[in-house]
Structure 1
Amino acid sequence: MAKVSIQLIQVTCAIVWCLLAAGPIFGFAALKPILISEGVYGELCTPNNDPILSITAGRDALMAGKAPKPCTAQDLKLNLMFTVGAGTTNVVALFVGWILDSYGPRVCGFIGSGFLTLGALSLGWSSNISLFDPYIVGYVLLAIGGPFVFISCFQLANSFPKRSGTVLAIITGAFDTSSALFFFYRVAYQNWKPDLTLKKFFNFYLVVPLFIFLCQLFIMPKESYKTLGAVQKLEVEGLDENGNLPEGEDGSRIIPDDDERQSLLSTGSPVIRPVLSSTSGRKSIWENYVEAKLEKKTKGIFGVMHDYTAIEQIKSPWFLFMLVFTIICMLRINYFVATVRSQEEYLLGDADAALKMNSIFDVALPLGGVVAIPFIGLVLDHCSTLTALTTVASISVLIGVLGLTRSFLLNLIGILILVAYRPFYYTVVSDYCAKVFGFETFGTVYGLLMCISGVCNMGQSLLDRMTHRTFNMDPTPVNSILVTITVVSAGCLLWYVNRESKIREEKMKILESIADPNDQEQTAYGST
C-alpha cells in the first residue's frame, strides 16, 4: 500500500508541475495584451510613427475589456519574443533527450527548475536589467525549462504498468493545458488584480521551480529510468525495453482473447513473427506477436527502417519528407498563435470581434489537448499509419483554407479544429517516427526532427514582418503561401508512404505465400 501511495504522489506532483511549467509559453496570445498594457517594448513606438501607449492607458483599455493595440515595431518585437521561445523549445528537445538518457530524470528536473527560475527572475526584474533583453531572454529560459521538466516525467508511466497509457496521456494532457497559465493570469489581471504586474506575477511563479526542485530531491524516484525509445515502445507496443510484458501485466491488454493468449504462451517459442522486419535479437514471443500485428496493421510500414543506423535513417526519404511536412505545420501553428488577434482583426474588419475570437482561442487552446486525447488514441489504435497521416494532412489543409475566409463562423470553426489538431499532429509525428525508424534510435531521430523544425520555425519572424510591412497587415498572402506549401509537402509525403506501403504489402503477400506450410501460426497470421 505504501508503494502505491508514493507512486501516486509522484504522478500527482508531475501532473501539477506540467500544468504550470511544461509549456506555458504557448499561451502567448493571452499574455500579449498584458505585455502591451505594461509597456513592454513601448519605447519602440515614436510619436511620428505610431502613438505611444502609456502603461496607465494600456491598463485602462484592458480593464474595459478592450485589448490595447501595439504599434508596428512593438508588435513585431513581441511576436519575435514568442517566435524565439517556441523555436527554442523544439531545438532543446534533442539535448534534453541526450541528457535524459545519459544522466536520468532527476538531473533533468534540477536543470529544468534552474532554467525556470532564471526565466522568472529575468521577466520579473526586467525593469532593472539593461545588459540584455530581459523579455526575450526570460521567455527563452522558460522555453528551455519546459521540455526538461516535461520529458523527465515520462518514466512515471512505469509506476502503474497496467495504466501506463493512461499516465502518459494525462501527462501529455497536462502539457497541452499548461498554456492556460497565462490565460488565468490575464483574467486575474483584467478583472480582479490590475496591480498584478509582471514583477509580482513572476515573483510568485518562483514557487513553481522551487516545488519541482524539492519534488526531485525528496519525492521522485532515484533510480535511473527508461530511455525515450523505451517509453515510446511502451506506448506503441505495450512492452518494456526488452520486449517483455511490464511488471504486473498478464498480456490481456495486448491479447484480450484468453484462448489466443494461452495458445501463444503454450507454444513456448516465438512462432508468430513479422514477415518483413528482421527478427534478430528478439527476446520474447510477445515482441514477435505485437510487431507482427503492427506490421500487418500498418501495411508493412512498421519496421521499414528499424535495421538501419540513425545516419542512414536521417538520410532516407522517410525522414526528409516528414521533416518538410513537420516544419511547415509547426510554422503555421506557431505563426497563428503569435498573430491571432491581428489576423482576425484584418479578416473580420472589427477590433471587437477579433478580441472576442482571441479570447475564445485563449480558452480553447489548453482545452483542445485534453478533449482530443481520447480521439487521438482511437485513430492511432484503429487506423493504419497512412490513414493517420492522411487525416493529419487533410485537417491541416482544411484549417488553412478556413483561415483564409472573412467569416467569423468559419474562422471560429477553424480555431476550434486547430486547438484539437495541434496535439494530434505532434502525436502522429512521434508515432510515425517510432513505427518507421524504431525505438533504439527514436530519441535521436525524433529529437533531430523537432530540433531542425524549431530552427526553421525562427523564420516565423520573417513572415510576420512581411505581413506588417509588405502586405499592410493582410495575412492572406502569407497564409496562402503556407497552405500551398502544406498541400505540396503533404502530397509528397503521402505519395511516398503510399507507394512504399503498396510495395511492402506485396512483398508480405509473396513471403506469406511461400512460408513453411508446417508453420501453422505464421500461415494463420498471413491470412488474417
Structure 2
Amino acid sequence: MPGFEIGLSMRRGLTFATGLVECLCFAGAVFGWASLVFVLKTEGYFSDLCVNTTGVNGTQVLDCSGQDERFSLVFTIASFMNNFLTLTSGFLFDRFGTTVARLFGICLYSTGTMMVAFSSSAMSNLLFPALTLLAVGGIMFLITNIQVGNLFGSHRSTIITIYNGAFDSSSALFFIIKLLHEVGVSLRSAFLFLTACSTIHVFRTFFLMPRRFIPYPLPDHYTYGITCGKSTALSSKVAENGDTQSEKEKLHKPLDKDAPAKQEKSFRECLLSRFFVLHLLWLSVMQLRHYLFIGTLNPMLEGLTDGEPSLVSKYINAFAITQLCGVLCAPWNGLILDRHKGKPRALGESEQEADLRATVLSLFLTALQCVFFSVCATIPYLPLQYLTFILQVLNRSFLFGGNAAFISVAFPSRHFGKLYGLVMALSAVFTILQYPCVSLVKGPLGGDPLYLNVALTLLSLLAFIHPLSVYLHCRASGGKSALVVSPNICVEPHSCWEKLTGSSFVNTGPIILPVESLGGEEEAVEAPQVTPPCGQRFTPALPLPFLSLPGGDSHPSSQADVVRIPALPTYVGESRLRV
C-alpha cells in the first residue's frame, strides 16, 4: 500500500509541523511577560500605584515600586496556576483524551485573549484572570502535543524536547506585540487576532490529532484524525489506559501462557517512588530560579541602568530575542536523550533501562547550566546580562524538555498526563516563594537582590542529587539484568547454551529458524536446575523449557533445539526467532 504509506507519512509530518507552530506561537506566550509589561506601563495599567516621593536632594521623584510589585504579582499568580492546574489538565487528558482536552484548552486560551483585548487602565485587574487563562490554556496545548513524539519512534525524545523548546520560544509572542505597539498597532487589535487564531487550533484538533491518544510503541499502519472515506489500515482498539492494540499485535504474545506478564507500576507506586520525589526537587529549585528572574527582570534592569527607559527597552528586547532561540537549543537535549537509539544495548538491558541511562547526562547538564545562569544573574554588571539571557534560555529549554522526557521514560505512559500534571502542580507550590522573595528584596534588603541571588545559587546545587540518584540506580540495575537474547542479534547457540548451563553444546553454527517452521506447536521438557557461570546476570528459578521442531528431538543436546528463556516473549510475525 505505497499510496497509503505516503499519506500516513504526510499526515504525520503535517501533525508535527503544525504542532511546532502551535507551541512556538501560542502555548507559552505568558512567559514573555517582561515585554508585555513594557507595553502595559505605557498604556497606564496600575498607574494609580505610582506615587510622588521626595528624593535625596529634595526633588520630587515618581515612585512606581507599587506598580512593579503588582505586575510581579500578576505573573506570580499566572505562573503558579500554569503549573498547579497542569494537574487538572493532566487528569482531564488521561481521562477523556486529546479532543476533549484540546477543546477545553482552546476555550480557556480564547477567553484569556479576549479579556486582555477588552481590558484597559481602568480595568487593570482583568489581567489577573486573563493571564491565568492564557497560561492554563497554553499548557494544555503542550500536554496534548507531547504525544506527537510517539509517531517518530527513535526520535521520540528529540520531538518532545523540540516542542518544549518551542513552548519556551513562544514567549517571544509578547515581544512581537511590543514591536507592533511601537509602530501603532493597538493592544486590542493584537489580542483579537490571537482570538481569531483559535479556529486553526480547532481545525487541527479534529483533522491532525487523535480522538484519544497516540500509543507507544506505534502499531503498524496506525492512523488518526477525521479522514475522507474508509481507511485501509488495520483497525485499532484503544484501551482505557490509552494503549492501542491492533489485531496483528494480538499475535505478539508469549508462547508460554503461564509466564507472568510484566506488571506496570500503579499511579500510587510511581508517586511514592524515589525517582518522582527527586525529580520534583530537581524541577522545583530550578523553576523557582527562572520564575524569579523573569518576574523581577524589569526592576532589576531599571536598577542597573539607573532608570533609563531606552536602555531598559534595549535589554528587554535582547532578552525577548534570545527567547526565540529556545526552539534551537531544545534539540540538543533531545539528541543527548536519543543518542543510544539504533545502537546495540548491553546484554540484558531493556529499552526502558537504556532510555533511563541516557537521561543521566541530560539531568546533570541541566543542573550545571542552572548554576552558571544563577551566578551570572547574581553579578550586578549590566553587559554580563547578555550572557545571562543566553544561559537562561538554554537552561530553560533543557529544563522543561528534560522534565517531560524523563517522565515519559521513567514511568508508564498511561500515567503520563497525571504525573506530568502532578509534578508541575507540586513544583508550583514551591514557586509561590517568589512573591515573598520579591517583598524581601523591596523591604529588608533595601532593593538589593544580591543576597537573595546568592541564596538561590546555593539552593540550585540541590538539583545535582537527582542525576546522581539515577546514575547509581542504572549502575546497580546493570548487574541484576536477566540474560536476554535479542531478536535482532544472532547468537552462537553453543555460547548461549554455555551461559545458561555451564556445559558445552555440540553445534558451532548459528541457528536461525523461521517462526513458521515451528508449526504453532511447542513441547516443554524438564531440564535440571543449574547455576551457570554468569549466574549473577541470570539465575533460572524454574526448569528451562525448550521448543522443538515438528518431529525433532527435544533433548537438550540436539542441534535442532531452540532455547527459550522463561517469562520472555517469543517474537512472532514477520520476524525470525534467533538464538
Q: How would you bin the TM-score normalised by the shorter chain?
A: 0.7 to 0.9
Is contact 2:73–2:435 with CA below 8 Å preserved after alignment?
A: yes
Q: Which residue of 373, 379, 393 maps to 1:399?
A: 373
What does the per-residue CA deviation read over 1:152-201, in whole Å, with 9 as the maximum and x for residues that have no partner?
Answer: 234544666687666555544432321111111111212x21xx333232
Is contact 2:35–2:178 with CA below 8 Å preserved after alignment?
A: yes
TM-superposed deviation, 1:422? 0.7
**Map of 2:323 onto structure 1:** 365
TM-superposed deviation, 1:475? 1.6
Tell me: CA distance 1:415–1:44, structure 2 relative to 1, closer, same or farther (3 Å): same
Percent identity over the alignment is 23
Q: Which residue of 421, 424, 449 maps to 1:447?
A: 421
Q: Distance in 1 between matches of 2:92 and 2:463?
A: 33
- Tell whether 2:79 aligns with 1:86: yes
Q: Which has the higher contact order (CA 8 A, sep 6+)?
A: 1
Query: Rg larger in 1 or in 2?
Result: 2
**Partner-residue secondary structure (3-state), 1:403:** helix
Q: Which residue of 140, 143, 158 maps to 2:135?
A: 143
**Map of 2:269 onto structure 1:** 312
**Map of 2:99 onto structure 1:** 106
Gaps of 5+ in 2: 56-61, 224-251, 340-356, 483-533, 545-555, 557-561, 566-579
What does the per-residue CA deviation read over 1:419-449, in whole Å, with 9 as the maximum and x for residues that have no partner?
Answer: 0111111222233333333334333223211
Is contact 2:164–2:400 with CA below 8 Å preserved after alignment?
A: no
How many residues get paired? 435
Q: Distance in 1 between matches of 2:433 and 2:165?
A: 28
Farther-moved stretch of structure 1 (357-366 vs 22-31): 357-366
TM-superposed deviation, 1:129? 7.8
**Map of 1:206 onto structure 2:** 195
What does the per-residue CA deviation read over 1:438-468, in whole Å, with 9 as the maximum and x for residues that have no partner?
Answer: 3343332232111111232222111112122
- Tell whether 2:386 aligns with 1:412: yes
**Partner-residue secondary structure (3-state), 1:40:** coil
- Tell whether 2:462 aligns with 1:504: no
**Map of 1:37 onto structure 2:** 42
Tell me: CA distance 1:9–1:387, structure 2 relative to 1, closer, same or farther (3 Å): closer
Farther-moved stretch of structure 1 (312-321 vs 116-125): 312-321
Is contact 1:347–1:405 with CA below 8 Å preserved after alignment?
A: no
What is the identity, as a one-letter code, of the residue corresponding to 1:455?
V
Q: Distance in 1 between matches of 2:305 and 2:480?
A: 54
**Partner-residue secondary structure (3-state), 2:443:** helix
TM-score (norm 2): 0.66
Is contact 2:35–2:174 with CA below 8 Å preserved after alignment?
A: yes
Is contact 2:19–2:145 with CA below 8 Å preserved after alignment?
A: yes
Is contact 1:10–1:220 with CA below 8 Å preserved after alignment?
A: yes
Q: Distance in 1 between matches of 2:473 and 2:14?
A: 46
What is the identity, as a one-letter code, of the residue corresponding to 2:400?
Y
Q: Which residue of 253, 258, 261 maps to 1:281?
A: 261
Q: Which residue of 23, 28, 33 maps to 1:28?
A: 33
TM-score (norm 1): 0.72
**Map of 2:212 onto structure 1:** 224
Q: Distance in 1 between matches of 2:410 and 2:431?
A: 24
**Partner-residue secondary structure (3-state), 1:470:** coil
Tell me: CA distance 1:357–1:104, structure 2 relative to 1, closer, same or farther (3 Å): same
**Map of 2:331 onto structure 1:** 374
What does the per-residue CA deviation read over 1:456-490, in whole Å, with 9 as the maximum and x for residues that have no partner?
Answer: 22221111121222222212121111111111x22
What is the identity, as a one-letter code, of the residue corresponding to 2:321?
V
Tell me: CA distance 1:384–1:161, structure 2 relative to 1, closer, same or farther (3 Å): closer
**Map of 1:297 onto structure 2:** none
What is the identity, as a one-letter code, of the residue corresponding to 2:193?
F
**Partner-residue secondary structure (3-state), 1:153:** helix
Map 1:118-133 to 2 at 5 A. Answer: 118-127=111-120, 133=125
Q: Distance in 2 between matches of 1:10 and 1:379?
A: 24
Report the aligned-residue RMSD.
3.5
**Map of 2:231 onto structure 1:** none
What is the identity, as a one-letter code, of the residue corresponding to 2:201?
I
Q: Distance in 1 between matches of 2:537 and 2:156?
A: 38
**Partner-residue secondary structure (3-state), 1:39:** coil
Is contact 1:313–1:437 with CA below 8 Å preserved after alignment?
A: yes
Q: Distance in 2 between matches of 1:34 and 1:175?
A: 22
Q: Distance in 2 between matches of 1:15 and 1:499?
A: 35
- Tell whether 2:294 aligns with 1:337: yes
What does the per-residue CA deviation read over 1:41-76, in whole Å, with 9 as the maximum and x for residues that have no partner?
Answer: 1111223489xxxxxxxxxxxxxxxxxx97111001
What is the identity, as a one-letter code, of the residue corresponding to 1:225?
F
Q: Distance in 1 between matches of 2:73 and 2:535?
A: 55
Is contact 2:46–2:121 with CA below 8 Å preserved after alignment?
A: no
Q: Distance in 2 between matches of 1:183 and 1:477?
A: 30
Q: Distance in 1 between matches of 2:152 and 2:369?
A: 34
TM-superposed deviation, 1:140? 0.6
Larger relative strand fraction: 2
**Partner-residue secondary structure (3-state), 2:85:** helix
Q: Distance in 2 between matches of 1:421 and 1:46?
A: 38
Larger relative helix fraction: 1
What is the identity, as a one-letter code, of the residue corresponding to 1:493?
H
Is contact 1:112–1:149 with CA below 8 Å preserved after alignment?
A: yes
Tell me: CA distance 1:401–1:157, structure 2 relative to 1, closer, same or farther (3 Å): closer
**Map of 1:461 onto structure 2:** 435
Tell me: CA distance 1:336–1:45, structure 2 relative to 1, closer, same or farther (3 Å): same
Q: Distance in 2 between matches of 1:433 and 1:425?
A: 12
Q: Distance in 2 between matches of 1:129 and 1:280?
A: 67
Farther-moved stretch of structure 1 (505-514 vs 121-130): 505-514
**Map of 2:460 onto structure 1:** 486
What is the identity, as a one-letter code, of the residue corresponding to 2:143?
I
**Partner-residue secondary structure (3-state), 1:441:** helix
Tell me: CA distance 1:431–1:154, structure 2 relative to 1, closer, same or farther (3 Å): closer
**Map of 1:117 onto structure 2:** 110
Q: Which residue of 386, 398, 405 maps to 1:431?
A: 405
What does the per-residue CA deviation read over 1:305-327, in whole Å, with 9 as the maximum and x for residues that have no partner?
Answer: x8543223323333222222211
Q: Distance in 1 between matches of 2:437 and 2:159?
A: 38
Q: Distance in 2 between matches of 1:433 and 1:11?
A: 21
Q: Distance in 1 between matches of 2:312 and 2:453?
A: 17
What is the identity, as a one-letter code, of the residue corresponding to 2:187?
L
